[in-house]
Amino acid sequence: MIAETLPDIARLSLEEKWDLAVELWDEVAERQNELPTNQAILDLVEQRFADYERDPSTALTLEEFKRKFRLP
C-alpha cells in the first residue's frame, strides 16, 4: 500500500487525510487524460452499451440496481 511507504501520512489527522484525498482526487480529475487507457475495459463498456442499445429492457433503473445489490 502506498500509505505504508509514506509514514507521514499515518501521522495525519482524519481531517488532514480527508483534505489530502480531496486534493489528490482533484488533481487526478484535472489530469485524467494522462492516465493510460485500458483497452479491455473500454471494449467491455462498448459491448455492454451495444447490448443495451439492442435491448434496453435489459437495463436496470437505479432503484432496481440498489435493491439487487442491497445498497442504501
**Residue entry with cell 480531496:** 22
pTM: 0.51
Q: In tens digits, what is the pLDDT along the chain, a chain of 72 residues?
A: 788 899 999 899 999 999 999 999 999 999 999 988 899 999 999 999 999 999 999 999 999 999 999 998
Q: What is the DSSP string of 19-36?
A: HHHHHHHHHHHHTGGGSP
The secondary structure element, H or E, covering residue 4 is helix 2-5
DSSP 39: H
Between CA 68 and CA 62 the distance in angstroms is 10
Task: With H, G, I as helix, E, B as strand and everything else as coil, classify residue 72.
Answer: coil
